[in-house]
Amino acid sequence: MAELLRVNDLVTQFKTESGLVKAVDGVSYYIDEQEIIGLVGESGCGKSVSQLSIMQLISAPGEIAGGEVIFEGQNLLKYEANGPQMRSVRGAKIAMIFQEPMTSLNPVLTISQQLTEMLQLHMKMNDDTARKRAIELMSMVGIPGAENRIDDYPHHFSGGMRQRVMIAMGLSCNPKILIADEPTTALDVTTQAQLLELMKDMVQRFRTSLIIVTHNLGVVARYAQRIYIMYAGRIVESGTTKDIFANPHHPYTIGLLKCIPRLDEEEGTKLVPIQGLPPNLINMPSTCAFLPRCSYRLEKCAREPWPPLTPVNGNHYISCYANTKEKSK
């Protein structure tokens, strides 16, 4: 499958009163057609900001300070932030759904209005066609009685239902890429599972690529083909899902996996949390950000700048100096 989107060395920073926060500090990744990738990391690691940057949805005091986003042969970052070219990409070519279904829909507009406006804008449909298509979409995402509910307001729907509406909105104009920013974090476990299955079905149906941004490794384990692990604004490990789960190399990934209870573990095995606290992103030092929490650290790690992404085998890259496979800790 051809490559669809490539992000090179994206840097997004925020000027705060305490200092400069490099929320995204040189992030590179790519996604192919009809692929599902996962972007995993803890809160504050920059994963959401990186996706908002692609769509140029960053506003003051944040700014995109460097890098390129190559999509359909063009660098999206070269477009004026809210200009006509960027706007023709948003929603129509790259769509996004957000974390908070309760607040991401406009409370004073009906679902019909919020769905049809995209169809009318990007697909140039007239009122009737747009409405019919909107009802179709709502049925597709599993909202019963769509024809009657389409004129309801967001507060008539539960969180899970609203998220389904967001999915319908996201896919309504057949985008090439759908970015799902922590789509299920705010929902209960059962709904989470349903929604993820739905998303997988829909993107397969629409032949859309999907970027799932989450802090939950379990979510990407099942659905993503490749995973990027982020820490403190950078990618520290990347590879196919199988590879990463079977053969994690970066100390952070190893730590993450040790935190997750597994069905196939021996009884009595302890969960090992990662020691230390998440880093303060203000005025970060140039050395590896994971250093304070790392049990594999070398003397080298304190001297050298943040290690570049190097391949360990095939498509599996890590950003680490230590050889974690030699030690068994």
- Residues at the site binding other proteins, with contacts judged by CB under 8 A: 18, 55, 57, 60, 82, 86-92, 95-96, 98, 100, 103-109, 113, 117-118, 121-122, 153, 155, 166, 169, 275-277, 279-280, 282, 285, 291-293, 297-299, 302
- Min separation Cβ 149 and other proteins, Å: 14
Q: Which is nearer to other proteins, 75 or 85 (CB)?
A: 85
- Min separation Cβ 46 and other proteins, Å: 17
Q: Which is nearer to other proteins, 166 or 227 (CB)?
A: 166
Angle in degrees, CA 109, 114, 116, rounded to 5: 130
- Min separation Cβ 55 and other proteins, Å: 6
Distance CA 86, CA 58 (A): 13
Distance CA 181, CA 163 (A): 12
Q: Which is nearer to other proteins, 82 or 313 (CB)?
A: 82
CA distances from 77 to 8, 57, 85, 89 (A): 11, 11, 11, 12
Query: Where are the strands (E) in the chain, listed by range?
Result: 3-16, 19-32, 36-40, 62-71, 74-75, 94-97, 177-181, 209-214, 226-231, 234-240, 310-313, 316-318
β-sheet bridge partners, residue 5: 31, 71
Long-range Cβ contact pairs of 13-16 (< 8 A, separation 24 or more): 13/62, 13/63, 13/65, 14/61, 14/62, 14/63, 15/61, 15/63, 16/61, 16/282
Q: Which is nearer to other proteins, 200 or 297 (CB)?
A: 297
Q: Which is nearer to other proteins, 47 or 122 (CB)?
A: 122
Q: Which is nearer to other proteins, 195 or 217 (CB)?
A: 195
Distance CA 50, CA 128 (A): 37
- Min separation Cβ 225 and other proteins, Å: 24
- Min separation Cβ 250 and other proteins, Å: 17
Q: Which is nearer to other proteins, 12 or 241 (CB)?
A: 12
- Min separation Cβ 90 and other proteins, Å: 3
- Min separation Cβ 221 and other proteins, Å: 27
Distance CA 210, CA 32 (A): 10
Distance CA 110, CA 150 (A): 7
